[in-house]
Homo-oligomer: A and B are copies of this chain.
Amino acid sequence: MSDYSWVTLATNDTYSLGALVLARSLRRVSTNHNLTVMVTPGVSAAMRAQLASVFNVLEEVNILDSKDEKNLALLTRPELGITFTKLHCWRLTQFSKCVFLDADVMVLKNCDELFDREELSAAPDVGWPDCFNSGVFVYRPSIETYNALINFALSQGSFDGGDQGLLNQFFSDWATKDISRHLPFIYNMCSSATYSYLPAFKQFGQNVKIVHFIGTAKPWLQYLDSESRHVKPSPGSEHLQGFLQLWWDIFCNDVHSTLSSEMAGLAGAL
């Protein structure tokens, strides 16, 4: 088996639905690598069972483990909570290389070539494009790096209060040093790009390999007509119709049937 893994994170049952669709989207394109999901205590036992049926590895992570003095220090910085949780991905040292994917991304085409890249490879952010977007990144698990990141976070904080600001400050030469660490935007096509520069989306959109539903237009918050199984995007997200429909098609075909009715109810009108 490969010693590479895709890695995602879910801190609750709702984001777990995203993780389930993400995993199915990776299976659909026949990835050769492992799927790992990190969960916190906020994910229910029933949902963990679902996750375990499609992910190869399920890792429980706990940001407030009082046995760890670094995490004790964190108690004074509650805003760094989710940030620190994502950093746990560096502790997955059973793998030699990983690609982290937010739970709100969906893979459209096989992207196994991403594992040829080195740490830290990521695509530009659409807000301030000398920062990378931390929804998709290639990295090497390492306890040393993990500790350095935690210490950096505790001493410097994060300029945006999240993992993206922290990782950009830590890997601060990303914008200027090595073009091979710039993933093409098609590996992390932020959904807002489809309207902010529509001609580019029309020109390059068919090449997109990974779509990222940044911001509030999360697929599981959209309305699905349960008869027709057509998604009705909320106002302002109409341009994402095609991608949202694919997310829901995967959800309905590959995920929904195995969920209990209670879990299914977390998503849209189902």
Contact = CB atoms under 8 A, between A and B. Distances in A.
Nearest to A158: B199
A193 B159 contact: no
Contacts of A124: 124, 129-130
A129 B184 CA distance: 9
Contact of A184 (B159, B160, B175, B203): B175
A157 to B, nearest CB: 11
B159 A197 contact: no
Nearest to A177: B179
A127 B175 contact: no
Contact of A203 (B125, B165, B197): B165
A216 interface: no
Contacts of A186: 130
Interface string A123-151: 11111111100000000000000000000
Contacts of A125: 129, 197, 200
Interface of A: 123-131, 159-161, 165, 175-179, 182, 184-186, 193, 196-197, 199-204
Contacts of A201: 128
Contacts of A123: 129
Contacts of A128: 185, 193, 196-197, 200-201, 204
A159 B203 contact: yes
Nearest to A200: B128
A203 B160 CA distance: 9
B204 A130 contact: yes
Nearest to A199: B160
B199 A161 contact: yes
A199 B165 CA distance: 8
Nearest to A185: B130
A243 to B, nearest CB: 16
B179 A184 contact: no
27 contacts: A125-B129, A125-B197, A126-B127, A126-B129, A126-B196, A127-B193, A127-B197, A127-B200, A128-B185, A128-B193, A128-B196, A128-B197, A128-B204, A129-B185, A130-B185, A130-B186, A131-B197, A159-B202, A159-B203, A160-B197, A160-B200, A165-B199, A175-B185, A176-B182, A178-B179, A179-B179, A179-B182
